[in-house]
Amino acid sequence: MSTTLTTKEAPAGGDPSPSWISERSGRGDAIFKGLTIAAAALILLALASVFIFLFTQGFAGFTQPAEVYSKYGSSFWGYVWPLLASTIVASLIALIIAVPLAIGIALVITQYAPSWLSTPVAYVIDLLAAVPSVVYGLWAGIYLAPKLVPIYEWLHEHLGFIPLFGDVVSSGRSISTAGLVLAIMILPIITAISREVFSRTPRLHREAALALGATRWEMIRMTVFPYGRSGVISAVMLGLGRALGETMAVVMVLSPGTLFTFNLFSGSNTPSIAANIALRYKERSEGTLEVLIATGLVLFLLTFAINFAARWAVARSERKLAG
Amino acid sequence: MAKSIDVSDLDIYYGDFLAVQGVNMTIRARSVTAFIGPSGCGKSTFLRSLNRMHEVIPGARVEGKVSVDGQSLYDANVDPVAVRRQIGMVFQRPNPFPTMSIYDNVLAGNRLNSKRMKKSEADAIVERSLKGANLWGEVKDRLGKPGMGLSGGQQQRLCIARAIAVEPQVLLMDEPCSALDPISTSAIEDLIHELKTQFTIVIVTHNMQQAARVSDETGFFNLKGAGQPGHLVEFNSTEKMFANPDNDATEAYISGRFG
Ligand SMILES: Nc1ncnc2c1ncn2[C@@H]1O[C@H](COP(=O)(O)OP(=O)(O)O)[C@@H](O)[C@H]1O
Ligand SMILES: [Mg+2]
């Protein structure tokens, strides 16, 4: 561009500066830009410092002498894998229960229910998110767990040939109960985000489907789902992140065991990584802290990997669409 | 397969708001009928009541009678989904499905009607519909590409192809050219001329020359005043409407001496 009118660096000796150059708006933009960059940098800094902390403090945890892992195994990996497996299994149970439910509720609220019904339902679901996790833990450990025993018994009796449905612990405080509580805890966030993206499906596209003679469900499949897919995946990732990291509810529901079994109803499963850190944090014996921090690092890397995988999957499917 | 439409004493509401009042008209089969009138007088609303798209808006309803070849559209036992499969619609803004390829966009309606389709059959429908919409030559080498990658005019013709792929009896078009450039507009006007040999076409347009060029009959809608319902002022052959309308308001509107 040959014009110098819009740049502030224009030589002062030229024409008198035209009045449409406003110093004020330029400064506002500069301040806003600075703030944005600062905020972004702060987030990255916090993330980096957490990672550096986990790495430097936890690194020693990988190579502690066998006694430190005590009854759990003879090496760090022997110690961490049951915890990791419990974490993943509890979170998977939570997702399997919560995701279809959340999507269903979001669909009913946005597509089917009249507004006098959908508004209060949406409100109540949002309220679920406001309940502190310690309260969920109390409720589930004391009240819900025993109530679930008959259901577990029934599943064990009729589907016991599947190793997942083994012997039932009499307290009901098993990994399946933990998964169920986690499901309730992640339901609101997944529902709220799904509801938001579903309700934003452009009317243009919904009407395109309806005008072709689509039933409401067909319209949802043709427009609402494809349009909302990446948003729903983000919602699921947020829910999963919360489930993986949730501590109190799992601490209070699971009776801390020492091994991993595929029996979801067993009372002897290890807690999840986060719950284990909370449980053993006070011990403070030599080397234990390092080991706990190292497990924290493992959890951090796991959530990171899952998030990256999900982003990648979304980006790839969107690239395919953009073709 | 083209059918005629009879409308009698039709009142159209959004909740308690009466948007269009007392419309009577007969739309002939295999002809192009245009609706003109100022913005907000209810042209779109009326058009959408002809394939029961009006009622997808919460609280929207109609009173009165619309029948297509004698079959009343608003009878209790009539399924609106079935009505929309017979009476296709093209919207003001092109709206191909963004997640579908050109090929899948054309077949979207057919896939609703019959789940199982042979590949050869599907290919034939796609080719016939795209040719019908004058789009085949431009897209035949990239049928697998997303419909959103096309220009606005091409997207609108894709939407027309999608609407005619199911071989509807009536095709409703709501200002189909208003978002398009003059060249795309004339392509679509040519297309309307060809389509009327097979379909009954009803088109809303804010462009008087367009109404004069494409339609056989024209209806003029107007508002009595702000906040008042829209109504049909005059319905006559296009020739008469533009040369010698019965109503003074029609004449004023068409000659541009309006308001
Ligand atoms: N979704 C809607 N809800 C409530 N009122 C509407 C809606 N759509 C249109 N209207 C009203 O109905 C009247 C007719 O609108 P419309 O049919 O869009 O007119 P036109 O297509 O002739 O410009 C206007 O008063 C408009 O405000
Ligand atoms: Mg309109």
Which band of pLDDT confidence, cut at 50, 70 and 90, is reported for residue A18?
Answer: low
Rounded CA separation B197/A317 (Å): 42
Q: Could B85 and A212 be called an inter-chain contact, meaning their C-beta atoms sit closer than 8 Å?
A: yes
Using the CB atoms, write b or e for B92-115: b if 16+ within 10 Å: bbbbbbbbbbbbbbbbbbbbbeee
A234 with A315, same domain: the answer is yes
Domain of A170, in residue numbers: 64-322
Regarding whether A229 and A214 lie in a shared domain, the answer is yes
Stretches where chain B sits below pLDDT 50 are: 259
The whole-number pLDDT of residue A133 equals 87
Tally of CB atoms within 10 A around A274: 22
Task: Enumerate the residues of chain B whose CB falls inside 8 A of the CB of residue A202.
Answer: 95
H or E stretch covering B87: strand B87-90
Helix (H) or strand (E) holding B130: helix B119-132
Name the domain count of chain B: 1
Assess whether pLDDT exceeds 80 at residue A70: no
pLDDT range class, residue A185, cuts 50, 70, 90:
very high
Asked whether the beta carbons of B55 and A207 are under 8 A apart, the reply is no
Q: Cβ–Cβ contacts within 10 Å for residue A168, how many?
A: 25
Tell me the DSSP string of A130-185. Answer: HS-HHHHHHIIIIIIHHHHHHHHHHHHHHHTTSTTS-PPPTT--SHHHHHHHHHHH
Determine, yes or no, domain membership for B259. Answer: no
**Within a domain: B245:** yes
- B236 vs A12, which has greater pLDDT? B236
* A251-292 tens-digit pLDDT: 888 877 777 778 888 877 778 888 888 888 887 676 788 888
d(CA B139, CA B130): 9
Kindly report, residue by residue over A147-174, the tens digit of the pLDDT: 888 888 888 888 888 888 877 887 888 8
pLDDT of residue A23: 63
Same-domain check for residues A49 and A68: no
pLDDT at A230: 86
DSSP state of B169: S
User: Residue B187: which residues within 8 A CB-CB, separation 6 or more?
Assistant: B134, B153, B157
Asked whether the predicted pLDDT for residue A10 surpasses 80, the reply is no
- φ and ψ at A219, to 5 degrees? -60, -40
User: For residues B256 and A318, which has the higher predicted lDDT (pLDDT)?
Assistant: B256
Look-up of token digits 């296009």: B238
Alpha-carbon distances, residue A190 vs A69, A102, A128, A305, B213 (angstroms): 37, 6, 12, 20, 53
**pLDDT at residue A322 tops 60:** no
Residue A224 pLDDT more than 90? yes
Half-sphere exposure of A311 (CA within 13 A, CB side): 7
User: Which pLDDT does position A164 carry in this prediction?
Assistant: 82
Residue type, A170: S
Domain closes at, from A58, A77, A93? A58
Element (H, E) at B51: none
Shortest Cα distance, chain B CAs vs residue A269, angstroms: 44
Statement to judge: residues A89 and A38 lie in one domain: no
In-domain check, residue B223: yes
A226/B97 Cβ within 8 A: yes
For testing contact with chain A, the best of B45, B55, B112, B150 (most A CBs within 10 A): B112
Phi, psi of B61 (to 5 degrees): -155, 170
Instruction: Out of A47-51, A311-315, B32-36, pick the least confident.
Output: A311-315
Ligand 2 centroid–CA B238 distance in Å is: 20
Are A291 and A260 members of one domain? yes
Q: For residues A71 and A51, state if they share a domain.
A: no
- Distance (Å) from the alpha carbon of A323 to chain B's nearest alpha carbon: 6
- Going through B119-199 in order, the beta strands assigned E by DSSP cover 170-174
Report residue A2's pLDDT band, with 50, 70 and 90 as the boundaries: very low
What is the pLDDT at residue B242? 92
A231–chain B nearest CA distance, Å? 15
Confirm if B148 and B159 have CB atoms less than 8 A apart.
no
Give a yes or no: residue B111 inside a domain. yes
Domain count, chain A: 2
CA distance B171 to B199: 7
Does A97 lie in the same domain as A47? no
A302 or A23, higher pLDDT:
A302
Q: Which helix (H) or strand (E) holds A281?
A: none
Same domain for A15 and A84: no
Angle of the A76-107 helix axis to the A273-280 helix axis, nearest 10: 120
Are the CB atoms for B24 and B8 separated by under 8 Å? yes
A49, A131: one domain: no
Q: What is the pLDDT of residue B143?
A: 94
Residues A94 and A243 in one domain: yes
Question: Which of residues A58, A82, A103 is at a domain's end?
Answer: A58
What pLDDT is attached to residue A316?
Answer: 76
| Distance in Å, CA B44 to ligand 2 centroid | 4
Domain that holds residue B11: 5-254
Which residues lie closer than 8 Å to A181 by C-beta, 6 or more apart?
A: A136, A137, A140, A144, A249, A250, A253
The DSSP letter of residue A17 is P
CA–centroid distance, B110 to ligand 2, in Å, is 27
Q: Quick one: A51 and A70 in the same domain?
A: no
B95 assigned to some structural domain: yes
Nearest ligand 1 atom to alpha carbon B43: 22
Check pLDDT > 70 for residue A17.
no
Query: Could you report the predicted ipTM of this complex, rounded to two decimals?
Result: 0.92
Higher pLDDT: B226 or A216? It is: A216
Mean local confidence (pLDDT), A176-199: 92
Q: A71 and A48 in one domain? A: no
User: Choosing among A212, A216, A220, A221, which should be mutated to test the B contact, i.e. which has the most B CBs within 10 A?
Assistant: A212
Last residue of a domain, one of A58, A78, A93: A58
Section A118-127 average pLDDT: 88
Please report, for the domain that includes residue A106, its CATH number: 1.10.3720.10
Q: Do residues B46 and B221 lie in contact, with contact meaning Cβ atoms separated by under 8 Å?
A: yes
Q: What are phi and psi of B32, to 5 degrees?
A: -110, 125
Lookup: tokens for A43: 């987030």
Sheet with B32-36, side-by-side order of all strands: B71-72, B60-68, B5-14, B17-27, B230-237, B217-223, B32-36, B200-204, B170-174, B87-90
Strands B200-204 and B217-223: unpaired
Q: How confident is the model at residue A6 (pLDDT cuts 50, 70, 90)?
A: very low
**Residue A321, pLDDT above cutoff 70:** no
CATH number reported for the structural domain that contains residue B197 in this entry: 3.40.50.300
- Report the sign of the C-alpha dihedral through residues A304, A305, A308, A314, in that order: negative
- The span from the CA of A59 to the CA of A57, in Å, is 6
